[in-house]
């Protein structure tokens, strides 16, 4: 190492001559030029077969990322539009459902009113029929009562008078009794 330092110091003192530096450090021009040519060839080969494909791959990847971001923005906008449409459809469905519910209520009220009217009419018919049946039963019972009272009057008269009444007398007596009961 000391030898190298002494050579460097000698060179500094003798710095006026560049040829001496080249010979001191052992620069061999043919080898240097061959190494520079080899380096350039290696750089060209690396650029052509390694660096350029990597750059191409990176450019394709950058384009894919940009396309993905653009698609994401497009999808985001489409999603927002779809959500707005869904909200609108839901509002329309709610409005229609409320309208249908109101129509059902009106129809139910109308049906209830019709059923009430039918029930009232049926009740009135039943009441009328019951009154008619009661009147018929009353008339039948009254007629039966008149016959029975007439028969009892004839029996009582026969028993009181002690004589046997003819059928003409019995008929006349029954009619008279029936008139008096009816009055």
Where does residue 154 rank: exposed (0-12), middle (13-18), buried (19+ CB within 10 A)?
A: middle
Q: pLDDT confidence of 162, banded at 50, 70, 90?
A: low
Rounded Cα–Cα distance for residues 79 and 95 (Å): 24
Phi, psi of 28 (to 5 degrees): -110, 105
Phi/psi region, residue 28 (left: phi>0; alpha: psi -120 to 50; beta: rest), is: beta
Q: How many domains in the chain?
A: 1
Rounded Cα–Cα distance for residues 24 and 6 (Å): 12
- pLDDT tens digits for 9-62? 655 555 556 667 767 777 788 888 999 999 999 999 999 998 999 999 999 999
The boundaries of the domain holding residue 65 are 2-182
To which residue do tokens 């009181």 refer?
160
User: pLDDT > 90: what percent of the chain?
Assistant: 51
Q: Does the predicted TM-score (pTM) go above 0.85?
A: no
- pLDDT tens digits for 60-80? 999 999 998 988 899 999 999
Q: Which residue has the higher pLDDT, 90 or 182?
A: 90
């Amino acid at each position: 190492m000391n030898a190298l330092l002494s050579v460097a110091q000698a060179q500094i003192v003798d710095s006026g001559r560049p040829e001496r530096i080249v010979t001191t450090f052992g620069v061999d021009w043919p080898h240097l030029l061959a190494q520079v040519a080899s380096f350039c060839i290696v750089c060209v080969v690396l650029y052509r077969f390694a660096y350029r494909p990597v750059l191409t791959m990176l450019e394709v990847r950058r384009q894919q990322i940009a396309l993905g971001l653009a698609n994401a923005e497009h999808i985001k906008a489409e999603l927002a539009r779809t959500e707005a449409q869904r909200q609108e459809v839901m509002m329309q469905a709610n409005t229609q459902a409320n309208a249908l519910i109101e129509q059902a209520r009106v129809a139910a009220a109308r049906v209830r009113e019709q059923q009430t009217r039918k029930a009232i009419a049926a009740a009135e018919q039943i009441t009328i029929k019951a009154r008619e049946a009661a009147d018929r039963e009353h008339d039948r019972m009254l007629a039966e009562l008149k016959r029975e009272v007439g028969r009892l009057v004839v029996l009582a008269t026969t028993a009181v008078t002690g004589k046997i009444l003819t059928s003409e007398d019995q008929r006349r007596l029954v009619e008279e009794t029936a008139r008096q009961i009816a009055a």
